[in-house]
Chains A and B, each alone.
Chain A
């Protein structure tokens, strides 16, 4: 194994073009897979609460099946029934039946989020305060196919406080307040078949609980769950990508291993990011089809977070390695820059654990419900944001320095021999090419993100259109970063090829002395990095 540099430098333009083309086609394929085959990532169901009258003998109120509750209308309050607040149970039995069939949740649907929406009627005599603190006595139960109709099992019960912000836009009797959405629960796994939510809105005059709530007419629950079809496409895509990435990673490490030297930092980083990507790609979601894994949401967020952290660190080191003049670079050299990434990640991890971590114990918990919680969450996010800004300042500065170096060296190029010059020009071109690819990927991600937001919000395409933008975005971007890492690993793995120009260089050129050190470099760094180093000597 002699020869220097990485595949990127030795690859002919034609081959590079073919490789890029193939990867580009794969990318298009990912977008199409998401857009055409997969349904929207998640689906909603608006469920209207049935107002059950609480029955002492039955801990659960439900509206379908034997033992169903007696319902009551809250449209107009009458003294006929002599009800108190504790007698009314807002009941959601999900899923609701469709097409005459009793639907049941499938484990393919992965997770569930519940959001409450209150219909409160405006009356001139009774005005509601903004930022009303609502106290909900909530209970979540589940049942499976084959269980008796009344055999509901307790999943979680909690008394929760939520802020309800209601504004009367038109102050006319009979109109509804515009109320903010109230997040109710988040389930990390949808393991059971049927779910039942019982909510009481108790009133306690001494404690001041729920005093001042207006004329509540209806409570809606918006149930959001992932679509089975999306999970299906997602898991299968991961299952296909996973072995490919692992394969290329083994190939890469085998090549590095066969070198006479120890792997350099950039190669170590590539290995690390490849391993992290493989962890992300491993279709562990499929286990949730067989086991109850409520921590799946956290696991997914963690895997994704670690991947982004690795990617950000990689960019820093990638830029730094094309700049540094000291030979022994280790990850510790970059501790200042990497600490920005690290602090950001720790902040986000703390936020994640305080929100979703607590939800493992109590699915009704949300950090945003209380003011202290909101402040804490904002602090975490702000810290992450600050370190993010620091990171980008560092990165931009480094890239700027690399480009400065390159342009300075470029002016020295005409003095070099023809073959050398062509070679270095090519290297610079390919380095810029990869920079461009990175920027392009980041740009596409951002554009897709914005378009995804807009497509959900406003211009929905024709109803009959088969293209699904949300899924195209998620699957396409996921595929894109895979392809990006895949390309990096291939192009930056050590090349076996001899430089064809080396012979000519050694026997003729005037700048032989200058460049002859290259093959004897103990680290066998990529020639581009060496080139940058050379610049430092000048």
Chain B
């Protein structure tokens, strides 16, 4: 009787496994693992129905966007789904804000048709792709850390690995006791680790493209971490500074976007080719781990050396050296890309004309700025194709004042405006 149950379970598991594999193959495109971006749209309030506090029901379509591991992580961490959704939306808005004046303006696709949220552009290793990976990874890190601080995710870790557990025993759980003894680590620690596990799930191959993704994902997370600002408060005897306590403040996401945009402009072109482009650096894990944590702690830019998986997960799955690689710049004269630098494999196209194969919309019909000499200027934006101008009376909200709370007082300004549009 027992045996049959066991066999049945095994068969069932195998079948389910097989089905999910086939399904995954069918659904996931060339670069799997990025479909989770879709929950940005799936996570809109209509699709998420609150069942009970902390628990969310997700419609099945958005659940299919996720890999098994990601699904498990969402199941095990109630409340994290909204955070991820918020994070991707934040990343998307930031991307569109940063690229509003460029030919490629971070346009999105309808992901429900099986396409990627950002379109086919992510199939290629462009600079823009690097930015998308980095900003989404940063978005998840930021949003999860934020949700931890709000107490929405109840499973945020209270990492006290370096805090010695106290000898005093009360009738409390080990975790509670550790907290009583030495407090908890920053929320960013959980945000960082969670984002690493969640975002990097898909990138387990050995191809250069996957290394590029891993690097850019990591760069996004590092930017969140290094933008943390330290603040302190004195609270010793009579409020004097004999005791001073410091904490790290989560940055505004806009400044992360700005920094990543800077890195985008100075992104490193790394070598295309065989695995020779990957110079494996295997060091002693311990030393690396220490170095990593130290660098993260100080919020300094890390050596462009290796990253090492911090979680048990990677160790268990033999992926311990997943982050131990060094990408080679295309031009050997140049410095190797650092942890916070973005890397890309291919020169970006001009983004002038629509290219359905690459998911590029082109700049036809985009508005441009006649007087600007920047990327949003009509010459550059329209790729010398010329542009139409017409006079229009535009009514816009203007002189807005934000009043606490929750009012935006704007006046409507109507003015004559010359609108230029690329042909």
A interface with B by C-beta (< 8 Å): 36-37, 39-50, 63-64, 68, 74, 77, 81, 83-85, 87-88, 93, 95-104, 106, 108-109, 113, 115, 117, 119, 121, 123, 125-126, 174-176, 181, 186, 201, 203, 210, 213-216, 220, 222, 224, 227-229, 232, 300-301, 304-305, 348, 351-352, 355-356, 449, 452-453, 456-457, 459-460, 462-466, 470, 474
Does B266 sit at the interface, judged by CB under 8 A? no
* 20 more A-B residue pairs beyond the given contacts A40-B183, A48-B151, A98-B157, with a C-beta to C-beta distance below 8 A: A39-B163, A39-B181, A43-B182, A48-B150, A77-B407, A83-B406, A85-B405, A99-B175, A113-B235, A117-B249, A125-B400, A125-B401, A176-B252, A210-B404, A222-B247, A224-B245, A229-B166, A232-B166, A301-B238, A463-B290
Task: List A contacts of B149 (CB < 8 A).
Answer: 46-48, 96, 220
Using an 8 Å CB-CB cutoff, how does the interface string of B279-296 with A read, 1 for contact, 0 for none?
A: 000000000001001101
Task: List A contacts of B242 (CB < 8 A).
Answer: 449, 452, 474
**Cβ 8 A contact of B246, one of A121, A228, A457:** A457
Once the chains are docked, how many angstroms separate the CA of A187 from the CA of B265? 50
Task: List A contacts of B250 (CB < 8 A).
Answer: 46
Closest CB of chain A to B143's CB: distance in Å?
11
- Kindly report which residue of chain A lies nearest to residue B294, judged by CB atoms: A462
Does B333 sit at the interface, judged by CB under 8 A? no
The answer to whether B181 touches A103 (Cβ under 8 A) is: no
Once the chains are docked, how many angstroms separate the CA of A224 from the CA of B184? 12
The answer to whether A214 touches B404 (Cβ under 8 A) is: yes
In the complex, which range does the number of interface residues on chain B fall in?
A: 35 or more
The answer to whether A85 touches B406 (Cβ under 8 A) is: yes
Task: List B contacts of A220 (CB < 8 A).
Answer: 149, 249
- Kindly report which residue of chain A lies nearest to residue B168, judged by CB atoms: A232
Count of CB-CB pairs between chains A and B under 8 Å:
219
Can you spell out 22 A-B residue pairs with CB atoms less than 8 angstroms apart? Answer: A36-B164, A41-B245, A44-B183, A44-B247, A46-B186, A46-B247, A68-B53, A96-B148, A98-B175, A100-B154, A125-B400, A125-B402, A126-B403, A176-B252, A186-B235, A203-B404, A214-B402, A224-B233, A228-B180, A232-B181, A460-B297, A463-B294
Task: List B contacts of A301 (CB < 8 A).
Answer: 237-238
Contacts A39-B164, A109-B180 known; A463 to B170 CB distance under 8 Å?
A: no
Once the chains are docked, how many angstroms separate the CA of A533 from the CA of B297? 61
Most buried by B among A88, A175, A305, A463: A463
Does B3 sit at the interface, judged by CB under 8 A? no
Task: List B contacts of A103 (CB < 8 A).
Answer: 158, 176, 179
The answer to whether B406 touches A126 (Cβ under 8 A) is: no
The answer to whether A50 touches B406 (Cβ under 8 A) is: no
The answer to whether B244 touches A452 (Cβ under 8 A) is: yes
B interface with A by C-beta (< 8 Å): 53, 97, 146, 148-151, 154-158, 162-164, 166-168, 170, 172-173, 175-176, 179-184, 186-187, 230-233, 235, 237-239, 241-250, 252, 254-255, 290, 293-294, 296-298, 399-408
The answer to whether B231 touches A117 (Cβ under 8 A) is: yes
Task: List A contacts of B403 (CB < 8 A).
Answer: 126, 203
Once the chains are docked, how many angstroms separate the CA of A101 from the CA of B158? 10
Once the chains are docked, how many angstroms separate the CA of A2 from the CA of B31? 97
Closest CB of chain A to B319's CB: distance in Å?
22
Once the chains are docked, how many angstroms separate the CA of A45 from the CA of B179? 11
Once the chains are docked, how many angstroms separate the CA of A101 from the CA of B294? 29
- Kindly report which residue of chain A lies nearest to residue B408, judged by CB atoms: A77
Most buried by B among A45, A98, A232, A465: A98
Closest CB of chain B to A76's CB: distance in Å?
9
The answer to whether B405 touches A83 (Cβ under 8 A) is: yes
The answer to whether A64 touches B53 (Cβ under 8 A) is: yes
Task: List B contacts of A117 (CB < 8 A).
Answer: 231, 249
The answer to whether A470 touches B243 (Cβ under 8 A) is: yes
Task: List B contacts of A98 (CB < 8 A).
Answer: 154, 156-158, 175, 179, 184
The answer to whether A464 touches B162 (Cβ under 8 A) is: yes
Task: List B contacts of A228 (CB < 8 A).
Answer: 166, 168, 180-182
Contacts A77-B402, A126-B401, A466-B164 known; A175 to B254 CB distance under 8 Å?
A: yes
The answer to whether A174 touches B244 (Cβ under 8 A) is: no
- Kindly report which residue of chain B lies nearest to residue A111, judged by CB atoms: B235
**Cβ 8 A contact of B151, one of A83, A88, A97, A100:** A97
- Kindly report which residue of chain B lies nearest to residue A449, judged by CB atoms: B242
Closest CB of chain B to A295's CB: distance in Å?
14
Once the chains are docked, how many angstroms separate the CA of A57 from the CA of B241? 44
Once the chains are docked, how many angstroms separate the CA of A45 from the CA of B156? 13
Task: List B contacts of A39 (CB < 8 A).
Answer: 163-164, 166, 181-183
Closest CB of chain B to A421's CB: distance in Å?
46
Q: Which 8 pairs, one residue from A and one from B, show the smallest C-beta to C-beta distance?
A: A43-B183, A39-B182, A96-B151, A215-B402, A98-B158, A229-B181, A228-B180, A213-B404
The answer to whether B243 touches A474 (Cβ under 8 A) is: yes
Closest CB of chain A to B15's CB: distance in Å?
32
Once the chains are docked, how many angstroms separate the CA of A295 from the CA of B162? 33
Task: List A contacts of B186 (CB < 8 A).
Answer: 46
The answer to whether A43 touches B404 (Cβ under 8 A) is: no
Contacts A43-B184, A83-B406, A356-B238 known; A126 to B400 CB distance under 8 Å?
A: yes
Task: List A contacts of B297 (CB < 8 A).
Answer: 460, 463
Closest CB of chain B to A351's CB: distance in Å?
7
Task: List B contacts of A87 (CB < 8 A).
Answer: 405
Task: List B contacts of A47 (CB < 8 A).
Answer: 149-151
Task: List A contacts of B255 (CB < 8 A).
Answer: 175
Task: List B contacts of A93 (CB < 8 A).
Answer: 151
The answer to whether A100 touches B155 (Cβ under 8 A) is: yes
Closest CB of chain A to B75's CB: distance in Å?
13
Task: List B contacts of A465 (CB < 8 A).
Answer: 162
The answer to whether A115 touches B164 (Cβ under 8 A) is: no
- Kindly report which residue of chain B lies nearest to residue A174, judged by CB atoms: B254
